[in-house]
Amino acid sequence: MATPDCDLLVISPHTDDVEIALGGTLRTLADRGRGVWACDLTRGELASNADPDERWGEAARASGILGLTGRLQLSLPDGFINATDRTQVTAVVWVLRRLQPRWVLTAPEARRHPDHLATPDLVRRAVFLARLRNLTSPEPDARWWGERPVCDCAATWIPEVVGDTCLDDAAPDLFFDITSAWEAKLAALDCYESQFRRDGDRHPTAINDPDFRIRLDDRARHWGRRAGVDRAEALSLRGRPVLGDLPSERWA
Ligand SMILES: [Zn+2]
């Protein structure tokens, strides 16, 4: 049976979260020919600026710049991501079984929003339950950008690696060198005019603060110094890598 082209799936609550946290990683891996996907859990209907359709249009443009293979957006309730809600958990289980990702990461900007706090727990539960064949996972409401995989859902799925964007004050387990993808990450962020541009009637928010872009650059350079490269994005993994051979790339 054909399998979806999904080496990496990044799950985040709102459009733009993945670009903020892991846009460089996605573009870097896409440039290496990997199948990279994003899943937005909500349509962002509670956003201070822009409606869900405008944000989805922005997400589509950003997805093209990052070289994503595909992106889907569920319609879980914005502001109420809940890791103990069965409907929400089985929706994510369905995504895992449908895309069959090798790696699964979550990408919420740390501690900025209750959905950002809840998403790693929701995904952790779904990753575990996706392996249980007696758990049914009906297809949730979703809209798609890019390739929609032609194959059917797997009955069960266990990803190889599960992790989260590393919090600023935590110790990373892994870095991705995003030096060559930095300009593309900024270009992807530029697609979200409704979220990052503070002009006209836009409400002031944390992410349309002019200093936000400076903080992102500071973080990328900070992780880069730790990794021995110009700019990096950092991950916290659930479990430690176990090697059976030397890596094919040098460690910086
Ligand atoms: Zn968000």
- pLDDT by 10s per residue, the chain, length 252: 567 799 999 999 999 999 999 999 999 999 999 999 999 999 999 987 778 899 999 999 999 999 999 999 999 999 999 999 999 999 999 999 999 999 999 987 766 789 999 999 999 999 999 999 999 999 999 999 987 887 788 999 999 999 999 998 899 999 999 999 999 999 999 998 776 666 767 777 776 677 888 999 999 999 999 999 999 999 999 988 888 999 888 876
Q: How far is the CA of 14 from the centre of ligand 1 (A)?
A: 4
Q: How far is the CA of 44 from the centre of ligand 1 (A)?
A: 8
pLDDT of residue 93: 98
| Strand runs labelled E in the chain | 8-12, 36-42, 70-76, 103-106, 142-146, 161-165, 174-177, 232-237
Question: Does residue 70 fall inside a structural domain?
Answer: yes
Secondary structure of residue 145 in the 3-state scheme: strand
Question: Does residue 248 fall inside a structural domain?
Answer: no
Has this prediction a pTM greater than 0.85? yes
Domain range for 193: 8-237
User: Cα–Cα distance between 51 and 41 in angstroms, integer?
Assistant: 16
Q: How far is the CA of 134 from the centre of ligand 1 (A)?
A: 32
Q: How far is the CA of 162 from the centre of ligand 1 (A)?
A: 20
Q: How far is the CA of 115 from the centre of ligand 1 (A)?
A: 7
Question: Does residue 208 fall inside a structural domain?
Answer: yes
Question: Does residue 246 fall inside a structural domain?
Answer: no
Q: How far is the CA of 82 from the centre of ligand 1 (A)?
A: 14
Picking from 140, 104, 128, the residue whose alpha carbon sits closest to that of residue 237 is 104
pLDDT of residue 176: 97
Question: Does residue 251 fall inside a structural domain?
Answer: no
Q: Give the side-chain half-sphere CA count within 13 A for 223.
A: 30
Residues around ion ligand 1, judged by CB within 5 A, are 13-14, 17
Question: Does residue 31 fall inside a structural domain?
Answer: yes
8-36 in b/e burial notation, b at 16+ Cβ within 10 A? bbbbbbbbbbbbbbbbbbbbbbbeeebbb
User: Cα–Cα distance between 76 and 44 in angstroms, integer?
Assistant: 9
Dihedral in degrees, nearest 10, Cα atoms 112, 58, 44, 166: -30
Question: Does residue 35 fall inside a structural domain?
Answer: yes
Question: Does residue 3 fall inside a structural domain?
Answer: no
User: Cα–Cα distance between 87 and 85 in angstroms, integer?
Assistant: 6
The backbone torsions φ and ψ at residue 115, rounded to the nearest 5 degrees and listed phi first, read -65, -30
CATH number at residue 103: 3.40.50.10320
Number of domains into which the chain is organized: 1
Q: Which residues does residue 70 pair with via DSSP β-bridges, in sequence order?
A: 37, 146
